[in-house]
């Protein structure tokens, strides 16, 4: 027996429920992976939020909260690491299709889809005898060999895009020409009526129930569109937050920071910087404040609606007897989204023809609602930064792991040691008693998993698993190197000034005190560590003036121009021809009159 197998079985046995005399051996656990989209660090109640999330909070009460858990700054790179336990560059997501500059397309590590040099968690679990299902957002490939059922899932109803409408089968206006939903690799038509969070859970329950008679455990990857743009929720949920945000974003940020401190998620002495992009609420007009509060009300409603659907899934598993032996993992794929499509005049003129931008209708069917950078800074509280950035507000998100029927789990506890999204796959494999692949799978060479199992942290045996091992990260030119309690980080403009800085993110998670001059040896050493990572993962420098926000607009323009230019030229030609005909007619009429 290999050491990897021995280690996996030992960890699994350690976490299994204690045997009862005369009872059959404990079955392998089911696994439910709950992935929220663009939720900030303090967007759930058990991390300091005012948003009503009782079902996620119940998982926290019966599980472990990870206060120092990190992902990538945007969705697809995180999902690649979550699915594989391998860095985003080595998995093919050095950047996303929406944000990659043309100069990087096709370069090693910049496939913009999950490459075939990596193996997914679903593939490993499927080979070990698990039923494997996925519903909701995929965003790791659109070709037939890149869809979930080609990457280890028995059944999948998935969206290949970054996001889509939540009430209808419509794309994000201006970014895609269709909402690319498929079921088991074939184009799918959404039902009517439809709301994304409800449908994603309904479909997963259908898959789980259909396979119950097999006697096999299941792995269910449940991927919500909530709270990606467009922010939309049923009216009743929005109404619950009608006046929750009348005090503005700075007041909300302060309140969330106080609650996070009181819960023990961040140190009581921590300082929090105000983002440069955060406007003065009191200088807004009453109409502007009402409109802003309505957008955040839609955001709160969307999050609560997703929590309600998580509750339905949990209740169903309780009713069918599967709940106690199910491991639940909840996380967000990155920090909150600061981009607001309505901020550009072109978008308001063009998208306004396709979507309702009326302030009082925000969050409803037919709208294109976004919370923008001001509320995003509050959603990330008490951290600095948000989606796309390498600040803690972009990379540090909530993580909850719960195994309700396992008495060895330290229910209701918080662990503060650094953890990373690449740790999830090896952790779940260890808990399931399945060895992680270490470079070979199904007779072929593959990238080995690099993450660490968190099983000892779940048991309370260790407070850290990464120790002093350096971990590098880069996306869109924003980069970080984590080592022990420290983080080396740089953000390109407009999120930063492009300079490397050094922070103790255990004691200063707000990243307010740069230690680069006080600890020069550490600073230089971590710079060397980052350079080694960048060479190994073939990280490319960004073009001058690059920003993710601008690249999204540029790539959308390149995508749409060849599709609309012929129609525009045809229309212009028709108008010109019509004008010539009218001009000739008038000229003839004038000549006859003479």
In a domain, 23, yes or no: no
Residue 570's pLDDT is what? 60
Is 89 a catalytic site residue?
Answer: no
Closest CA to 305 of 358, 406, 231: 231
Half-sphere exposure of 379 (CA within 13 A, CB side): 31
21 — pLDDT class (breaks 50, 70, 90): very low
Q: What angle do CA 194, 196, 197 make, to 5 degrees?
A: 120
- Tell me the C-alpha distance between 135 and 138, whole Å: 8
**Together in a domain, 583 and 505:** no
Average pLDDT over all residues of the chain: 91
Give tens-digit pLDDT for 208-251.
999 999 999 999 999 999 999 999 999 999 999 999 999 999 99
Residue 17's pLDDT is what? 42
When mean pLDDT is compared across 39-43, 385-389, 435-439, the lowest value belongs to: 435-439
Residue 261's pLDDT is what? 98
Residue 556's pLDDT is what? 77
Q: What angle do CA 496, 89, 531 make, to 5 degrees?
A: 60
In a domain, 467, yes or no: no
Query: The CATH number of the domain where 77 resides is what?
Result: 3.40.720.10
Selected catalytic residue, list 75, 104, 155, 308: 75
Q: How far apart are the first and last CA of the chain?
A: 106
In a domain, 21, yes or no: no
User: What residues make up the domain containing 333?
Assistant: 3-16+28-459
**Together in a domain, 486 and 376:** no
Query: The CATH number of the domain where 526 resides is what?
Result: 3.30.1120.10
Q: What average pLDDT score do residues 129-148 get?
A: 98
In a domain, 469, yes or no: no
Is 75 a catalytic site residue?
Answer: yes
Percent of the chain with pLDDT over 70: 90
Selected catalytic residue, list 52, 70, 126, 139: 139
Q: Summarize the chain as % helix, strand, coil (round to 5).
A: 40, 15, 45
**Together in a domain, 568 and 538:** no
In a domain, 465, yes or no: no
Q: What average pLDDT score do residues 548-559 get?
A: 80
**Together in a domain, 523 and 579:** no
Q: What average pLDDT score do residues 378-385 get?
A: 97
Give tens-digit pLDDT for 319-342.
999 999 999 999 999 999 999 887
In a domain, 342, yes or no: yes
Number of domains in the chain: 3
Handedness of CA 316, 322, 324, 327 (dihedral sign): negative
Residue 5's pLDDT is what? 39
**Together in a domain, 426 and 538:** no
**Together in a domain, 378 and 488:** no
Q: What average pLDDT score do residues 135-157 get?
A: 98
Residue 354's pLDDT is what? 80
581 — pLDDT class (breaks 50, 70, 90): low
- Tell me the C-alpha distance between 92 and 140, whole Å: 9
Output 545 or 583, whichever has higher pLDDT.
545
Residue 26's pLDDT is what? 59
**Together in a domain, 443 and 583:** no
Instruction: Give the DSSP letter string of 291-347.
Output: HHHHHHHHHHHHHHHHHHHHHHHHHHHHHTT-STTEEEEEEESSS-----GGGSHHH
23 — pLDDT class (breaks 50, 70, 90): very low
- pLDDT at residue 255 tops 80: yes
Q: What's the Rg (C-alpha) of the chain?
A: 25
Q: What average pLDDT score do residues 544-555 get?
A: 88
Closest CA to 394 of 380, 412, 411, 409: 380
- Tell me the C-alpha distance between 539 and 544, whole Å: 16
**Together in a domain, 487 and 573:** no
When mean pLDDT is compared across 271-275, 387-391, 494-498, 501-505, the lowest value belongs to: 271-275
Handedness of CA 315, 320, 321, 323 (dihedral sign): negative
Residue 578's pLDDT is what? 66
- pLDDT at residue 398 tops 70: yes
Residue 511 zone, left/alpha/beta (φ > 0; ψ -120 to 50; rest): left
Give tens-digit pLDDT for 65-98.
999 999 999 999 999 999 999 999 999 999 999 9
**Together in a domain, 287 and 432:** yes
Output 493 or 584, whichever has higher pLDDT.
493
pTM of the model: 0.92
Which residues does 461 contact at the CB level (< 8 Å), separation at least 6?
Answer: none
**Together in a domain, 542 and 570:** no
Residue 173's pLDDT is what? 78
Instruction: Give the DSSP letter string of 446-480.
Output: -PPP-----HHHHHTS-S-SSTT--EEEEETTEEE
């Amino acid at each position: 027996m290999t050491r990897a197998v021995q280690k996996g079985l030992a960890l699994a046995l350690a976490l299994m429920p204690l045997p009862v005399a005369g009872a059959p051996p404990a079955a392998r656990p089911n696994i439910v992976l709950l992935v929220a989209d663009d939720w900030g660090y303090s967007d759930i109640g058990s991390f300091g939020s005012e948003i009503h999330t009782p079902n996620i909070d119940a998982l926290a009460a019966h599980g472990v909260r990870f206060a120092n858990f990190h992902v990538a700054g945007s969705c697809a790179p995180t999902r690649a690491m979550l699915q594989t336990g391998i860095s985003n560059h080595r998995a093919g997501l050095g950047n996303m299709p929406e944000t990659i500059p043309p100069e990087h397309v096709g370069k090693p590590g910049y496939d913009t889809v999950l490459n075939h040099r990596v193996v997914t968690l679903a593939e490993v679990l499927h080979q070990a005898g698990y039923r494997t299902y996925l519903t909701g957002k995929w965003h790791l490939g659109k070709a037939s060999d890149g869809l979930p059922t080609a990457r280890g899932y028995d059944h999948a109803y998935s969206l290949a895009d970054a996001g889509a409408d939540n009430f209808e089968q419509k794309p994000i206006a201006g970014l895609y020409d269709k909402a690319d939903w498929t079921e088991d690799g074939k184009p799918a038509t959404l039902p009517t009526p439809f709301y994304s969070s409800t449908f994603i859970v309904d479909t997963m329950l259908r898959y789980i129930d259909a396979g119950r008679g097999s006697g096999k455990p299941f792995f269910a990857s449940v991927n919500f569109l909530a709270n990606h743009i467009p922010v939309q929720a049923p009216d009743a949920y929005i109404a619950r937050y009608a006046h929750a945000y009348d005090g503005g974003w700075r007041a909300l940020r302060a309140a969330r920071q106080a609650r996070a401190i009181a819960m023990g998620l961040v140190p009581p002495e921590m300082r929090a910087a105000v983002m440069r992009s955060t406007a003065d609420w009191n200088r807004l007009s009453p109409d502007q404040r009402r409109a802003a509060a309505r957008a955040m009300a839609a955001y709160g409603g969307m999050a609560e609606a997703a929590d309600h659907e998580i509750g339905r899934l949990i209740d169903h598993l309780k009713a069918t007897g599967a709940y106690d032996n199910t491991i639940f993992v909840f996380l967000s794929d990155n920090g909150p989204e600061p981009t607001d499509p309505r901020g550009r005049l072109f978008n308001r003129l063009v998208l306004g023809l396709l979507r309702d931008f009326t302030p009082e209708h925000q969050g409803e069917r037919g709208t294109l609602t976004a919370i923008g950078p001001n509320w995003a800074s509050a959603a990330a509280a008490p951290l600095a930064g948000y989606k796309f950035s390498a600040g803690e507000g972009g990379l540090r998100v909530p993580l909850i792991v719960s195994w309700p029927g396992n008495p060895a789990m330290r229910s209701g506890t918080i662990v503060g040691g650094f953890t990373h999204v690449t740790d999830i796959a090896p952790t779940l494999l260890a808990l399931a008693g399945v060895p992680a692949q270490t470079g070979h799978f199904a007779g072929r060479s593959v990238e080995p998993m690099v993450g660490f199992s968190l099983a000892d942290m779940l048991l309370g045996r260790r407070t850290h698993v990464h120790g002093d091992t350096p971990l590098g990260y880069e996306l869109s030119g924003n980069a970080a190197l984590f080592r022990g309690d420290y983080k080396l980080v740089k953000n390109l403009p407009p999120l930063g000034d492009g300079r490397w800085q050094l922070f103790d993110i255990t004691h200063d998670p707000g990243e307010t005190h740069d230690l680069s001059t006080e600890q020069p040896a550490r600073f230089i050493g971590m710079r060397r560590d980052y350079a080694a990572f960048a060479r190994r993962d073939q990280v490319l420098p960004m073009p001058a003036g690059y920003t993710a926000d601008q690249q999204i607009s540029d790539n959308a323009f390149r995508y749409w121009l060849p599709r609309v230019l012929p129609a525009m030229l045809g229309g212009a030609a028709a108008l010109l021809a019509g004008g010539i005909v009218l001009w000739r007619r008038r000229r003839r009429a004038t000549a006859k009159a003479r």
